[in-house]
Amino acid sequence: MRKLSVSLIAAAALAVSALPAAADPLASWDAVIAGGSRFRILPSFGNMAVLDRETGLVWERSPDTGTRDWLSAKRFCVERVVGIGNRIGWRLPTIQELASVVDPTQDKVFGVPALPAGHPFTHVQADLYWSATTFGENPALAWGVSFEDGILIGPGVRFSGKEVPFFTWCVRTGHPGSDVQ
């Protein structure tokens, strides 16, 4: 019986170690994916969502072009179902998530958003977008990311009063085992 359990443990260990690197969700946590291979348009979302293969996040392909205050932006994303594959789970991104879509190396061209080369996004404004992150020292303020200049605190990161209207770009967390990988 002891030999059988040792054999089973050894077989299980061998099977786990033989899994391809792609099966390990942390195998490429620090990978930088450049160019067009970073983003993939998701047909199961009616081609209205984009998987960022570098972060695992799913973004609206075309963010809403209206502006709203911070609380309205948070609510807008939570209620975002119709129009993007009829999927729930949309939310306002954290400051780190939103800043991950800015490419500060892009040449600054007035009116052109600083997005990575080869991106498939449409209607992104060269302006400030709200994040879900409140400014720590003052809860009346929240962080946002400017897709216009890519400067200041990090790549276009700044804070503002929550009552000021800015743009909204909703995100959804992908999950393994689905069409969002």
**Percent of the chain scored above 90 by pLDDT?**
44
Selected residue with higher pLDDT from 178 and 181: 178
**For 95-150, what is each residue's pLDDT tens digit?**
999 988 888 777 676 667 878 888 999 999 988 999 999 998 899 999 998 887 65
Nearest to 51 by CA among 168, 169, 177, 171: 171
pTM value > 0.85 = no
Mean pLDDT of the 167-171 span: 96
Average pLDDT, the chain: 77
Selected residue with higher pLDDT from 148 and 60: 60
Q: How many CA atoms lie within 13 A of 92 on its CB side?
A: 23
Query: Residue 81 — very low, low, confident or very high, per pLDDT cuts 50/70/90?
Result: confident
Give residue 3's pLDDT.
52
Region for residue 118 given its phi and psi (left: phi exceeds 0; alpha: psi -120 to 50; beta: otherwise): left
Residue 72 confidence (pLDDT) above 60: yes
**Percent of the chain scored above 70 by pLDDT?**
70
Q: Which domains does the chain have, with CATH numbers?
A: 2-173 (3.10.100)
